[in-house]
Amino acid sequence: MEKILSNSIDFEGPFPEQRRRLRLGVVGGGRIAQTQAMAARMTGRWDVVAGALSSVPMRSKERANLWHIDEARPS
């Protein structure tokens, strides 16, 4: 199994280095979820790759396009 963190965790020190970016799925397509997804991307540690963005399929696809999520990944 691949380790995600390259070194041990020191709770008094800086955020540990990661070997790779983590993939994130978002539940909800409202303003708060959009803000949190944007903040996760801005850290450089996460890729938003999927989302349950709406119960209406067409609206979910529209939001996926706005959020730059692969068209096959929204639900």
Total structural domains within the chain = 1
Mean pLDDT within 40-46: 91
Q: What is the pLDDT of residue 11?
A: 76
Domain-located, residue 17: no
Residue 57 falls inside a structural domain: yes
| 48: containing domain | 22-66
> What 3-state class would DSSP assign to 24?
strand
Quick one: average pLDDT of 46-72? 88
Cα–Cα distance for residue pair 4/7, rounded to 1 Å: 9
The mean pLDDT of 57-62, rounded to a whole number, is: 90
Classify residue 74: in a domain, yes or no.
Answer: no
Q: Is residue 26 part of a domain?
A: yes
